[in-house]
Amino acid sequence: MFISRAQLARSLRALDTVHPFFGIVFLALKEVGLSVGDRVMEINFTNTVEAILKRYYYPLPGHSGFYSPFKTSNKANRWQGERYASTTLQRITVDTFGEAFIHPKGSQQWSWQSDYVHALAAHLPKGQVPVFDLAVWLYRQEELPSNDAGMLIEKFLGRFDITPQESINLFDTEVPRLAKDWYQPKPLVNADILAIIGYPSGADAAPNGVIQSIELSGVGPSQYMRYEPAERLNLITGDNSLGKTFLFDCMWWAITRQWPKPKRPAIPDPDALLQVQTPSISYTLQAVNGEDRRSQKVVSPYDWSRQRWNGPTKPGNVEAGLAIYARFDGSFVVWDATMQDLGEAFISTQHRGASLLLSSEEVWEGLQTPNNGWACRGLLNDWTTWQRSGNDYAQEWASLELCLAELTKGSDQPFKAGKPRQVNVGDTTDIPVLVMSYGNVPVIHASAGIRRILALAYMLVWAWFRHRRNSKIIGQDPQHRLVLFIDEAEAHLHPRWQRAIVPAIMAAVDSLAQGMAPQIHLATHSPLVMASAEVVFDEELDDSHHLHLTADGKVELRELGFFKRGTADRWLVDEFELKEPRSKPAEDAIQRALAIQRRQPGEISKGEIASINQQLLATIADLDEFWPRWRYFAHKNGVETVDYNDSGNRKGRA
């Protein structure tokens, strides 16, 4: 048996008021058997204490400092530097606990005073040191001989040769209230422990970060909104102006600490002060890399006086390596962690270190840096370069072709690249060409829907291969988690394409590299896009969310259970909150017809039935499935309606 995560968290709270002397220095001196009285010992204080620190207070291998779970003036940071023993601990031992020792100043001679126990006890005004909780921390990864909590106390007392007088005066040897499951069959790994205590500020950021949650308070269309995305695919629906794009922008800021458009940050409405004293954006990022499972929560309040969101200025201990945001207007934002430490020469309004904003035109034409280099050469340039380069860019070209093939499976005309050619007499630039059934089409003359797909495919491939090259240059492994945002995924696409787009996007991302694990956030107004997800949706990995306007005019973000509706009509009614999958006038007519059918017989007027019948004739199709029900009701109440012959044509009117 081993200590459980729940018990470790509970015991650490109990150690919050214990002075670090008792948990570290006292144990170090007991371990070396420090003498009592005039028989002093020659010991190296720093080496003695560091032996304990390295054994019990070093939960992050490779980091130079130590973690102290004890009383501190800065509870937000309990991590201590590598010289903790020789500076802080030695100082408080001499200055605060000096009356308990015989220690000539400047020497390495030490021993306990004869009444050291009472001297030490005077520094325990809030109670004795809880032995069980201290032992839980010390033995957090050691195997326990039994599930008897008392044996952990005995283990501690024996290990440090605690005397009866020390036990009575300094330590609480009672078993406290335990966590419900205080032990578990497997030992805690370092990631479990670090998830509780947090990582030091100087620790290397954990790669492959994704969004675990985000909370918006006092900012945006809702006074409070919480979004907890699933691991893989997240579908977001809702009416216009309810906050889908706003939510995406805030999530982008959470990942990168930069707004998609630097000059357009989210700004709370001053009236929010009436509801929320301090607007805030809180988010949690999560990374899983083998046994290193890490979460980082950040709370960023809004500073009204400085007109900015306070908090860290760049990503912290969990880091998204690669993120792509396909915006509603055709622009793209790309975040690549390999570039976040670039110098000023690479920074411009649109290219701020790791984050690059490309307008819809720049995706195609490219964007230069201030020093006349290229932040991105653009689709037109890179396409022809990759296609013609032979082995130099063979991987990029193969990946682009595969990505396009996946994205166009739902189209009647899968894309095939032709030979680039000059289009204009006055411009010798060769333009990529698509081979269509009706002829060859330069991509600059392609339809808006095709251009949208081409841009998405290009940005996926370009961003991924740039990340791979940069990772190699700086000596790191490429990250395997991509965070992908696509706003209005259905934009410009024919319904035939919409009904296949979600699995196509997922397949395109998977084609980039083996083991690629995306977290996709996709906003849509299309029932066909939702229907397309039915063939790939996995409730263990995916989720569906809906922005809803309540009866009292408030915006709510709801997590909806996803199930197959089968038809676009069902999606329109269930997910998009339409009463009828018809035109608005037809919906109004049918709602009138349904309302009169719910009345008592004495409340039904033949004249009103005839009026509704005329409204139905004007707004719904001749063969609409609603007609049989309505004709039966009208005939039952003495009103004749239109009937149909065998060919489906009207034989007469009411």
Question: DSSP letters of 270-303?
Answer: GGGGGT-SS-EEEEEEEEEETTEEEEEEEEEEEE
Given a cut of 90, whether residue 216 has pLDDT beyond it is yes
**Nearest-5° angle of CA 196, CA 199, CA 202?**
170
Q: Tokens 């339409």 belong to which residue?
A: 578
Single-letter amino acid, residue 6: A
| The pLDDT of residue 560 | 82
Closest CA to 8 of 198, 143, 139: 139
pLDDT band at 552 (very low <50, low <70, confident <90, very high): confident
Closest CA to 645 of 624, 616, 622, 629: 622
Given a cut of 70, whether residue 343 has pLDDT beyond it is no
| The pLDDT of residue 113 | 96
Kindly state whether residues 243 and 163 are assigned to the same domain. no
Average pLDDT (77-92) is: 92
Kindly state whether residues 150 and 241 are assigned to the same domain. no
| The pLDDT of residue 341 | 63
Among 81-95, 334-348, 390-404, 494-508, the range scoring the smallest mean pLDDT is 334-348
* Phi, psi values for residue 277, rounded to 5°: -60, -45
Looking only at Cα atoms, what is the longest distance across the chain? 120
| The pLDDT of residue 346 | 47
Q: What single-letter DSSP state applies at residue 470? A: H
In this structure, are residues 54 and 48 in contact, taking their beta carbons and an 8 Å threshold?
no
Among 29-33, 118-122, 297-301, 504-508, the range scoring the smallest mean pLDDT is 297-301
Closest CA to 500 of 557, 554, 453: 453
Closest CA to 406 of 305, 544, 512, 484: 512
In a domain, 142, yes or no: yes
Kindly state whether residues 403 and 471 are assigned to the same domain. yes
Kindly state whether residues 517 and 596 are assigned to the same domain. no
Kindly state whether residues 388 and 339 are assigned to the same domain. yes
Question: DSSP letters of 132-165?
Answer: HHHHHHHTTTSPPSSS-HHHHHHHHHHHTT--HH
Given a cut of 60, whether residue 651 has pLDDT beyond it is no
Kindly state whether residues 36 and 149 are assigned to the same domain. yes
| The pLDDT of residue 350 | 55
Q: How far is CA 112 from the centre of its chain?
A: 54
Q: Helices 5-14 and 190-197 sit at what angle, rounded to 10 degrees?
A: 40
Burial (CB count within 10 angstroms: exposed 0-12, middle 13-18, buried 19+), residue 425: exposed
Given a cut of 50, whether residue 472 has pLDDT beyond it is yes
In this structure, are residues 216 and 557 in contact, taking their beta carbons and an 8 Å threshold?
no
Give the β-pairing of 427-431 and 421-424.
antiparallel
Given a cut of 70, whether residue 349 has pLDDT beyond it is no
Q: What is the pTM of this model?
A: 0.74
| The pLDDT of residue 351 | 52
Q: Which CATH number goes with the domain that contains 401?
A: 3.40.50.300
pLDDT band at 643 (very low <50, low <70, confident <90, very high): low
In this structure, are residues 356 and 262 in contact, taking their beta carbons and an 8 Å threshold?
no
417-427 per-position pLDDT tens digit: 899 998 888 88
In this structure, are residues 441 and 434 in contact, taking their beta carbons and an 8 Å threshold?
yes
Q: What distances in angstroms separate CA 73 from CA 15, 82, 85, 177, 528, one per listed residue?
A: 14, 19, 18, 27, 57
Kindly state whether residues 152 and 222 are assigned to the same domain. no
Kindly state whether residues 397 and 267 are assigned to the same domain. yes
In a domain, 267, yes or no: yes
Kindly state whether residues 382 and 410 are assigned to the same domain. yes
Average pLDDT (196-223) is: 84
Average pLDDT (613-636) is: 90
Kindly state whether residues 508 and 589 are assigned to the same domain. no
Q: Three-state SS for 471?
A: helix
Closest CA to 452 of 486, 424, 485, 423: 486
Q: Which tokens belong to 509?
A: 């991302």
More confident residue, 413 or 196: 196
513-531 per-position pLDDT tens digit: 888 899 999 999 988 888 8
Give the β-pairing of 101-102 and 41-42.
unpaired
Average pLDDT (376-387) is: 95
In a domain, 65, yes or no: yes
556-585 per-position pLDDT tens digit: 898 887 877 878 777 777 777 777 788 889
Give the burial string for 321-334 (b: 16+ CB within 10 Å, else e): bbbbbbbeebbbbb
Q: What single-letter DSSP state applies at residue 535? A: G
Kindly state whether residues 182 and 310 are assigned to the same domain. no
| The pLDDT of residue 19 | 95
| The pLDDT of residue 345 | 39
More confident residue, 257 or 195: 257
Single-letter amino acid, residue 60: L
* Phi, psi values for residue 78, rounded to 5°: -95, 5
Between CA 429 and CA 425 the distance in angstroms is: 10
Q: How many domains does the chain have?
A: 3
120-166 per-position pLDDT tens digit: 999 997 789 999 999 999 999 999 988 899 999 999 999 999 999 99
Average pLDDT (522-542) is: 91
Average pLDDT (95-114) is: 94
Average pLDDT, the chain: 88
In a domain, 625, yes or no: yes
| The pLDDT of residue 174 | 95
Among 26-40, 373-387, 399-413, the range scoring the smallest mean pLDDT is 399-413
| The pLDDT of residue 581 | 82
In this structure, are residues 454 and 379 in contact, taking their beta carbons and an 8 Å threshold?
yes
- Of the chain, the percentage scoring pLDDT greater than 70 comes to 93
Q: Which tokens belong to 583?
A: 């035109």
| The pLDDT of residue 147 | 86
Q: What dihedral do alpha carbons 305, 309, 312, 317 form, nearest 10°?
A: 160
Q: Domain boundary residue among 556, 574, 592?
A: 574
Q: Domain boundary residue among 159, 174, 197?
A: 197
Q: Domain boundary residue among 147, 163, 197?
A: 197
pLDDT band at 344 (very low <50, low <70, confident <90, very high): very low
pLDDT band at 653 (very low <50, low <70, confident <90, very high): very low
Q: What single-letter DSSP state applies at residue 459? A: H
Q: How many residues does the chain have?
A: 654
Domain that holds residue 368: 209-574
Q: How far is CA 31 from the centre of its chain?
A: 46
Q: Tokens 């995406």 belong to which residue?
A: 248
Given a cut of 60, whether residue 654 has pLDDT beyond it is no
Handedness of CA 616, 619, 622, 627 (dihedral sign): negative
Kindly state whether residues 541 and 624 are assigned to the same domain. no
| The pLDDT of residue 198 | 81
| The pLDDT of residue 201 | 73
Q: Three-state SS for 107?
A: coil
